[in-house]
Amino acid sequence: MRTTSIRRCAGALSAAAAALLLSAGPAAADTASPSPSPSESLAPVTTAGSSFLTATAVQPGQPVQLAGSTGDYLYWSFTAEAGQTDKIAITVTLPPTSSRHGASNWAVDVFDGLRRRQACTAGAQTPTAAADAASVTLGCTLRQVRAWAEPWSGDPLPGTYYVRLAVTGLPEQDLGLPMQVAMRITTHDSDDIQPEGGELKASLTQPVTAGTVLTSAPPVVAEEKKDTGWNWDWLPDLSARWAWTAIGGAIAAVTGVGGYSLTRHPRRRISNPDGFNRLSPTTRQDHPVNIT
């Protein structure tokens, strides 16, 4: 008798667990799978800019393939969203060994929308190509883009990112020789956005159009009074936290009932039909027998 009751309890628990898994399932899949990379449909980029302002826009997954000269500074830009972790992979096919005079140092630098240097958490950011190497591989994995950061911090934020590829050291005679560059940016998305509820009002993208110099301070425009009516701002945003909290509450209720039922004396639970276990296992087992 006691075993049946426990089994019922376990059944309720497993049902709750199943419900939890079902609801958590898609979210987990979302986190695990890399972002949809429609690289097949994206046309390859064959250009690169020569400065921040002229950087060529590239989308994650879009292949970049171009011919350049050693010594060129090549700039690309891409847009990153909060929760995203971007990885840059570059392969430089070096000029023929016969025309080179020694080893060369290469560097891939990544800057955010405010041209602040961004750290790479992994990857060969500044490799050295040996004098007889045919190619050199560079890589940079950025930190996860945060949804919000204090103005004084240098954390990666949503907005434009600039990638600069350059040779930082080489025998002077090797400047200007032909090279081939292949680059690809891959993105890993996560729905675990830090900090929770943080939001940058305007993404980190600086204006590229010519500015104008003011002759005097602009007059202060009287601000419109904000609508003081009823609003729902106090309610937390619709997020996965609602699901976690609600399911947690349900589990708490189930385990609460389970805990309560454990304190009942086994015999009294059966003999007392008015007690907590109104539908006792014995009556349930008798019922189908009556029908047949």
Reply yes or no: is the peptide bond before residue 195 cis, omega within 30 of 0: yes
Mark the segment that binds another protein (CB under 8 A) among 136-144, 170-178, 224-232, 280-288: 170-178
Mark the segment that binds another protein (CB under 8 A) among 127-135, 137-145, 253-261, 279-287: 253-261
**In whole angstroms, how close is the CB of 290 to another protein at the nearest point?**
32
21 binds another protein (CB under 8 A): no
**In whole angstroms, how close is the CB of 31 to another protein at the nearest point?**
9
What burial letters (b/e) apply to 109-136, b meaning 16+ CB within 10 Å?
bbbbbeeeebebeebbbebebeeebeeb
Q: How far is CA 250 from CA 11, 12, 130, in A?
A: 14, 11, 63
151 binds another protein (CB under 8 A): yes
Which position among 2, 7, 18, 115 is part of the footprint of another protein (CB under 8 A)? 115
Full strand arrangement of the beta sheet holding 64-69: 64-69, 178-188, 85-93, 135-142, 120-122
Alpha carbon distance 104, 171 (integer Å): 7
Alpha carbon distance 36, 94 (integer Å): 32
Using CB under 8 A as the criterion, what x/- string covers residues 182-221 for binding another protein?
-------x-x---xxxxxxxxxxxxxxxxxxxxxxxx-x-
Mark the segment that binds another protein (CB under 8 A) among 110-118, 127-135, 224-232, 278-286: 110-118
**41-100 binders of another protein (CB under 8 A):** 47, 49-55, 57, 59, 67, 69, 71-73, 77-79, 81, 99
Q: Which is nearer to another protein, 201 or 229 (CB)?
A: 201
**268-287 binders of another protein (CB under 8 A):** none
- Beta bridge pairs of residue 88: 140, 185
148 binds another protein (CB under 8 A): yes
Residue 167 burial by CB count (10 A; 0-12/13-18/19+): exposed, middle or buried? buried
Which position among 34, 44, 171, 256 is part of the footprint of another protein (CB under 8 A)? 256
Q: How far is CA 286 from CA 239, 279, 281, 282, 289, in A?
A: 47, 11, 9, 6, 5
Q: Which is nearer to another protein, 132 or 150 (CB)?
A: 150
Which position among 111, 129, 144, 185 is part of the footprint of another protein (CB under 8 A)? 111
Pairing of strands 56-57, 74-80: parallel
- Select from 162, 167, 181, 182 the least CA-distant residue to 86: 162
**In whole angstroms, how close is the CB of 246 to another protein at the nearest point?**
9
180 binds another protein (CB under 8 A): no
34 binds another protein (CB under 8 A): no
